[in-house]
Amino acid sequence: MKKAMLALAAIAAATVFAEEANATRQDGDLAKRQARSVHLRYGAERPIAAAEATVTVTETTPQTYFSILCWHQGYCGIQDWGDQKVFIFSVWDPTDPFDLGAKPDDMEEARRARVLYNHPLVQVSRFGGEGSGAKTLCGLNWTVGVPVSVRIETAPADDGRRTAFTCFVKTGEDGEWEKVATISTLRDTRLESGLVFIASFVEDFRRNFVSAKESRSAKFGNVRVKHTADGEWVPVMRAQFSADGNPAETIDAGQVEPGTFFLKTGGGTKNENAKLWSWIG
């Protein structure tokens, strides 16, 4: 990690996973301004105490986010900033993640997501603009064609009032797992503990009328879950293709091989494989 990870200045970016199709703001220029966000929601049986997934980027352009894993309280993945590549791991406060007006300091201290551990080369900050929460960020020298894997482990914290999420990352087939950070947040007692769902997505956050003309794509695979902390890893072989409310038709998804899927959006992409809301695998 010492070679791959560099301390960076704070970077503000919106990285919302839109579970429902109407979550993105609608207007006549939306499809022209930005590439449509596309998602894979995995058919993993619950409860989910831990999860792993791997992304291999096949085409990228600046200001693209490849979220390797996201769930009801957080997300992690790699971003392309043109002259630098980064890894991000964030966990929400108990707040609405679609609150675009949320400020980092709005949430009272006692209810905020807390960073319990961070790697020495990982920067810690608060975020807003998509709900609010705790963010960890570091440089990661990922490249097209080289897999990046993540693991999220969960554990009860604060006598069960919170859930602690620990993120690990490795680069390459033979890379070693590195612990990025542990962040705890208040549990929603209406939901089960652990990860309520797991998903991946590709997002264009440049949104300047040029980025919609550029394509970005990636393969997602090696998706596995544990149903208990000390349980066996179980492969996940199915995923549902979805997208945000952008009406752009330049999107596609499909199966590369059993257990490996692709997402593509923007540019001249044509929907030649899976249809929206269909299950793959």
Q: What mean pLDDT do residues 230-234 have?
A: 97
Q: Is the pLDDT of residue 63 over 50?
A: yes
Which burial class, exposed, middle or buried, applies to 10 when counting CB atoms under 10 A from its CB (0-12, 13-18, 19+)? exposed
Note the pLDDT tens digit of each residue in 88-122: 999 999 999 989 999 999 999 999 999 999 999 99
16 — pLDDT class (breaks 50, 70, 90): very low
Tokens at residue 199, please? 């998903």
Specify whether the CB–CB gap between 14 and 129 falls below 8 A.
yes
pLDDT of residue 192: 87
How far apart, in whole angstroms, are the C-alpha atoms of residue 117 and residue 157? 13
Q: What mean pLDDT do residues 61-70 have?
A: 98
Q: Is the pLDDT of residue 237 over 60?
A: yes
Tokens at residue 77, please? 């993945």
User: Model pTM?
Assistant: 0.91
User: Between 10 and 264, whose confidence is greater?
Assistant: 264
Q: Kindly give, in sequence order, each residue whose CB lies less than 8 Å from that of residue 73, ignoring residues fewer than 6 positions away.
A: 91, 92, 163, 165, 185
Q: Is the pLDDT of residue 6 over 70?
A: no
Q: Is the pLDDT of residue 216 over 60?
A: yes
Specify whether the CB–CB gap between 263 and 40 falls below 8 A.
yes
How far apart, in whole angstroms, are the C-alpha atoms of residue 239 and residue 117? 32
| CATH code of the region 39-236 | 2.60.120
pLDDT of residue 9: 26
190 — pLDDT class (breaks 50, 70, 90): confident
Q: Supply the Cα-derived Rg of the chain in whole angstroms.
A: 17
How far apart, in whole angstroms, are the C-alpha atoms of residue 207 and residue 24? 13
Instruction: Say what percent of the chain tops pLDDT 90.
Output: 87
Instruction: Say what percent of the chain tops pLDDT 70.
Output: 90
Tokens at residue 35, please? 């590439």
How far apart, in whole angstroms, are the C-alpha atoms of residue 67 and residue 178? 18
Q: What mean pLDDT do residues 15-23 have?
A: 35
28 — pLDDT class (breaks 50, 70, 90): low
